[in-house]
Amino acid sequence: MTKLAIFDLDGTLLNTIADLGAACNHALAESGYPLHTADEYPHLVGNGVNRLIERALPEGKKSQENILKLRQSFIPYYNRHNKVHTKPYDGIEDTLQTLKTEGWLLAVASNKYQAATEDLINHYFPGIFDAVFGEREGCPRKPDPQIVSDIISSLNITPNSSYIIYIGDSDVDMQTAKNAGLKSVACSWGFCSKELLQQYQPDYIINEPYQLTKLIKTNRI
């Protein structure tokens, strides 16, 4: 049986919050808007760049015109500075290698735009993932399950004869897993609190990456 583990990116594989916040503050500053602290940004991310900018803009300034204007500033800045503070969470790399050794296919499903998703994965996890999907034109963002369907199609696997799990750190991820009909593993080390994740009733909650390996090796997942 084919085994596939689909991972979220930001807050699950990589701690990207400082670089995301810096890019958003850069875009806000260029247009004269108030900036946000590092502690605020975990509550603003998770639904793609446009939603991040919309949430960061002051009330009364959240127009589509302003969002697109700030996006034009955000994207090139983030492309240049997306590896300044970003790093894998402790234990993630070993966990991914263990899954590969155990015969799992690995994929990424992110609301980060495709170019940056591929850039970060190729830099931090070269040769590890079998499919990498981010935000793309014409494809709805998570929690819509279309990205999961696209991953499955790209790997030419049959869902009914495969075992697929979804690993993520946010309410958006738990909803995505549910919408796609997949078992969900919630990561408490990311951008959402454990209490929030529990509200979405994931199949499993893990506090360290090695616990995913333990679940697999003890046949609990």
Phi, psi of 160 (to 5 degrees): -70, -20
Same domain, 203 and 115: yes
Same domain, 97 and 177: yes
Same domain, 6 and 35: no
Same domain, 21 and 6: no
Q: What is the pTM of this model?
A: 0.95
H or E element in which residue 6 lies: strand 2-7
Same domain, 54 and 142: no
- Choose the final residue of a domain: 53, 81, 109: 81
Mean pLDDT, the chain, as a whole number?
A: 95
Residues 185/169, Cβ–Cβ less than 8 Å? no
Residues 161/5, Cβ–Cβ less than 8 Å? no
Same domain, 10 and 27: no
Say what the pLDDT of residue 168 is.
98
Half-sphere exposure of 118 (CA within 13 A, CB side): 7
Task: In whole angstroms, give the CA distance from residue 167 to residue 15.
Answer: 15
The pairing of strands 131-135 and 162-168 is: unpaired
The position carrying tokens 């050794």 is 101
171: its two tokens: 């309410």
Same domain, 104 and 198: yes
Same domain, 28 and 61: yes
Say what the pLDDT of residue 161 is.
84
Question: What is the rounded end-to-end Cα distance, in angstroms, of the chain?
Answer: 14
Domain with residue 101: its CATH number is 3.40.50.1000
Total count of domains within the chain: 2
Which mean pLDDT values do the consecutive 10-residue runs of the chain (221 residues) have? 96 98 98 95 92 96 97 98 98 96 96 97 98 96 97 94 95 97 97 94 96 84 70
Phi, psi of 62 (to 5 degrees): -90, 40
Residues 146/140, Cβ–Cβ less than 8 Å? yes
Q: Which domain holds residue 76?
A: 17-81
Say what the pLDDT of residue 76 is.
98
Same domain, 7 and 56: no
Say what the pLDDT of residue 220 is.
67
